[in-house]
Structure 1
Amino acid sequence: MMVGFGCPVILWLALAAVQGSVLGLGEDMDRPLIGPLGSPVRLHESDAGLKKALQFAEERYNQGSNAMHLRKVSRLLSATKQLVKGIRYSITVELSNTQCKKSTMLRTCDFYPEIQKLKTEVCLFEVWDIPWQGTSTLLKQKCQPKVEVQQEETNNIVDASTSQPLEDSVELLGQFKEFMVKHNKDYSSQEEADYRLFVFHENLKTAEKLQTLDQGSAEYGVTKFSDLTEEEFRSAYLNPLLSQWNLHRLMKPAPPARGPAPASWDWRDHGAVSSIKNQGTCGSCWAFSVTGNIEGQWFLKNGTLLSLSEQELVDCDGLDQACKGGLPSNAYEAIEKLGGLETETDYSYTGMKQSCDFTSVKVAAYINSSVELSKDEKDIAAWLAENGPVSVALNAFAMQFYRKGVSHPMKIFCNSWMIDHAVLMVGYGERKNIPFWAIKNSWGEDYGEQGYYYLYRGSNACGINQMCSSAVVN
């Protein structure tokens, strides 16, 4: 049912939020988590799997850090595991500087005795371990200075009646009501509405933090995804397979562009980009990224812009996992084996896997091979301007809250090795001296700037340079 917003309900919800009753914020955080299969279970630091996950997270942190010294876990704050097609560990720790430089190979590394040199951070790691495959993936890493995070944690558990005035809660409810009306949200019960209000509030705080720390000109705030937790957003819209580098198929390197990149370029101005599409709650971004690239390649070779079928890939690509994710490198190979792509009209999108209904006589576009581009952004720009839109992938954490402008998240929000969303790079340029990539997304026209995301160009932001590829049409 749609939640009513008459005065008694507003007052009741406001008081509930003030008292911390939404989601049971006053629960004892130290009690064991006991629940049905698939629910989180709290771990002791002696757990062997936890030790392995901690070591893996520590190694990945140090690999991605520019610091001179190794940092190690100095304190385990909390840890849970959850059975999710493997074991998913959620770990909160304190990381501190050791006296060992990264270049050394010492077996033991002591922490600095001086507190100011420790530079302790509180980090949240999520590690997905598949023991029977011998693979581990770092799904999330978020680190902040210890004092700041401790202060936030303290604020979360104090009596909210002394830290959050009633008028703030009423303002929050007004924002939530506006969000529900604008995005046609309809919750099944009062309990569900309470929970979504809590998530909405937490997301407002995350968006505010992104806004404060953004290095570009982006505006973050309320979006159509503002009532989803990070996990829900990732499960419904993102693609965890992209960060599993061991699954990637080797591709031929693309020949370099014949000349340097012009100052700006946009394939939308040259007719090579179809209209914005919507993947829905299906992790099929990989299919949209690849079909968008092929649409551009086919246009440049044949002069006709077609809207090609993503559903064909969702249904018929046996190398990928449909709504559970996929890889552009696999999709190119699948299209070659199938013999091509049908149009959107002939094979329309449903947003769920169905039996393959591909018909070779309806093939509207084909490809001959595929190539991987350089990881240098100047080379990528030159190649794009000369050869057409490029299939790319990136870390999409900040995209959940993006509204407009040139996004330039700090590295702690947007590590380049945690890529989880495939998109289409259609151009580049500058806005008020801020260089950007123009990125066609697949979350509908009501996302970002009429369906587009603009990301800072020149710092390999969010791993945008790591997975650039294109089909080849002879």
Structure 2
Amino acid sequence: MAPWLQLLLLLGLLPAAAPASSKPRAAGAQAWELASPELREPARFALEMYNRGRAAGTRASLGAVRGRVRRAGRGSLYSLKATLVEPPCNDPTVCQLPVSKKTLLCSFEVLDELGKHMLLRRDCGPVDTKTTGAGRAWGAGMVQVRLHSGFSPASPLFQLSLDDKNETFSSFLPLLNKDPLPQDFSVQMASIFKDFVTTYNRTYDSKEEASWRMSVFASNMVRAQKIQALDRGTAQYGVTKFSDLTEEEFRTIYLNPLLKDVPGRNMRLAQPVTNVPPPQWDWRNKGAVTNVKDQGMCGSCWAFSVTGNVEGQWFLKRGTLLSLSEQELLDCDKTDKACLGGLPSNAYSAIRTLGGLETEDDYSYRGRLQTCSFSVEKAKVYINDSVELSKNEQKLAAWLAKNGPISVAINAFGMQFYRHGVSHPLRPLCSPWLIDHAVLLVGYGNRSATPFWAIKNSWGTDWGEEGYYYLHRGSGACGVNIMASSAVIN
């Protein structure tokens, strides 16, 4: 592992370092003890995928397993933590670990839909090289909040180049040597958590659940401060409506793992716009954008991104702004996975196959998979095709200004705690190759000389800047330029 990745893991700012727990989970998830029978089948499937292609005698065996499931419609998503035991091996051409018998700690995500399994994620490493992570994964009791970073500016790790405009961690991490929280941390955190519970109308089933959620909240406040210290933009991070969720819960419930792993339908490239884009543009001011919507506890961002794009395209071609149905796509797009994720490219294809989209009023959002009840007679909007757009951000801006809002996908790093301002995470923290959330570009501009994209999100108006997210423009931040697309309406 690269040294700078080791540092990020130690800081707890990479997904692999997210704390797991056997404590109560958010609604829609269920936790088990180690021996839960329901985990055996997906765990065996994950082991089979791990051992695929290995010769007899070199295959790993399954040890302890724990995990949870999230159900949505016809599918179940299992998030597993498991120990695997590698047999002794001395032939590096045959075995992945040419050493003596070794135990691995693995994270798996297995999708079970109508009895068919799919491995969405696999992350394994030797237990003895991830002692801290393993302790978090298997330890019982509350998360212990660490008030000091434990690093020294003199450490060689602080001098490693990030290979991102020659920036180094030494420019940013001294900020983390300050006490992130005051000495009377417990009293102040209890007060902040009480305000959070009141503001967001939280209720918990038991004192144990409330105590656990407060510990998660406190850990998240430390994490938000670290993200704040390392951000190069003007964004402010802190308490949001997601602050009592672990990172794993947040990713599983609200994000879209299929974006980075599953290939979608190939689309033709759009004709580029050769005009120089104006210095700023905002389709909200021109009537092409509907109100911010809320996907709820459902990984349906892909549907909201696509309907937002089609709404804008229809407005520009027909002069009428209609709020279109995401629920139709959840129910009737049989290629995508409803609340378990999907791809914009597949959604465009589904709209064409179905014969159009109904409005939100006619086919209202429920945030769960239902029986498809689409009626061609009620369809108010159609599309003729869909196109992939340039990865050049200057060309994207020119296309947006001429042709309307754009469906894009991004890495949602830091968005769990985003409050306002222009976000600009370090590239290693917000890799463009780990995109997991679909959104809508509606405009661009500059704030105090900081260039930004204006992004319509689908987490309601009580998140971010009245439901909007602002991301640095011109640096490929968080992969914003990787998966840009649009419907075509003739």
Q: Please indicate, yes or no, whether the TM-score normalized by the shorter chain is above 0.5.
A: yes
Residues 34 and 66, structure 2, Cα contact 8 Å, conserved in 1: no
Q: Quick one: structure 1 residues 214 and 345, their matched pair in 2 at CA, closer, same or farther if it must change by over 3 Å?
A: same
Q: Tell me: CA distance 1:460–1:355, structure 2 relative to 1, closer, same or farther (3 Å).
A: same
* Distance in structure 1 (CA, Å) of the matches to 2:438 and 2:349: 17
Structure 2 unaligned runs (5+)? 1-21, 25-32, 53-63, 70-75, 84-92, 95-104, 137-142, 148-178
Sequence identity of aligned pairs in percent?
55
1:258 Cα deviation after fit: 3.3
Aligned length: 390
CA 1:91–1:381: 2 relative to 1, 3 Å: farther
Contact 2:145–2:219 under 8 Å retained in 1: no
Cα deviations by residue, 1:323-380 (Å, 9 ceiling, x for unpaired): 1111100100000011111111111111111111111111111100000001111111
Match of 1:232 in 2: 249
- Which residue of the partner structure matches residue 120 of structure 1? none
Which of 459, 463, 468 is the matching residue for 1:447?
Answer: 463
- 1:78-102 CA-to-partner distances (Å, cap 9, x unmatched) read x97758779867699xxxxxxxxxx
Please give the secondary structure, in 2, of the residue aligned with 1:413: coil
* Whole-angstrom CA distance in 1 between matches of 2:469 and 2:300: 18
Report the CA distance between 1:259 and its aligned residue: 1.0
* Equivalent residue in structure 2 for 1:465, among 481, 485, 488: 481
The CA deviation at 1:249 is: 1.1
Give the aligned residue type for 1:199.
V
Give the aligned partner of residue 433 of structure 2: 417
| TM superposition shift of 1:35 | 3.3
CA distance in 2, matches of 1:232, 1:159: 21
Identify the residue that residue 268 of structure 2 maps to in structure 1: 252
SS at match of 1:348: coil
Amino acid in the other structure paired with 1:176 = F
Aligned residues: CA RMSD: 4.2
Query: 1:265 & 1:419 partners in 2: Cα distance?
Result: 25
| 1:344 paired residue number | 360
Matched, 1:180 2:197: yes
Unaligned runs of 5+ in 1: 1-21, 25-32, 54-78, 93-105, 108-123
Contact 1:394/1:462, CA 8 A, preserved across alignment: yes
Amino acid at match of 1:297: Q
Given that 1:125 and 1:138 are in contact with CA atoms closer than 8 Å, whether structure 2 keeps it comes out as: no
Code of the aligned partner of 1:216:
G
Alignment match, 1:13? none
1:35 equivalent in structure 2:
35
AA partner of residue 403 (structure 2): N
TM-score, normalised by the number of residues in structure 2:
0.69
Quote the residue 1:266 is aligned against: 282
What do residues 41-71 of structure 1 show as CA deviations (whole Å, max 9, x unaligned)? xx9xxx9879879xxxxxxxxxxxxxxxxxx
Other structure's SS at 1:454 match: strand
Q: Aligned ranges for residues 308-347 of structure 1 at < 5 Å?
A: 308-347=324-363
1:243 aligned onto 2:243? no
The 8 Å contact of residues 37 and 83 in structure 1, kept in 2 or not, is answered as: no
Secondary structure in structure 2 of the residue aligned to 1:470 = strand
Contact 2:411/2:431, CA 8 A, preserved across alignment: yes
**Structure 2 match to 1:363:** 379
| 2:107/2:122 contact within 8 Å kept | yes
Residue type matched to 1:465 in 2?
Answer: N
Distance in 1 between residues matched to 2:237 and 2:145, nearest whole Å: 28
Tell me the distance in 1 between the aligned counterparts of 2:362 and 2:355.
Answer: 15
* Pairing 1:397–2:410 present: no
1:2-21 matched pairs, under 5 angstroms: none
The amino acid of 2:35's aligned partner reads G
* Partner Cα distance (2:144, 2:214) in 1: 18
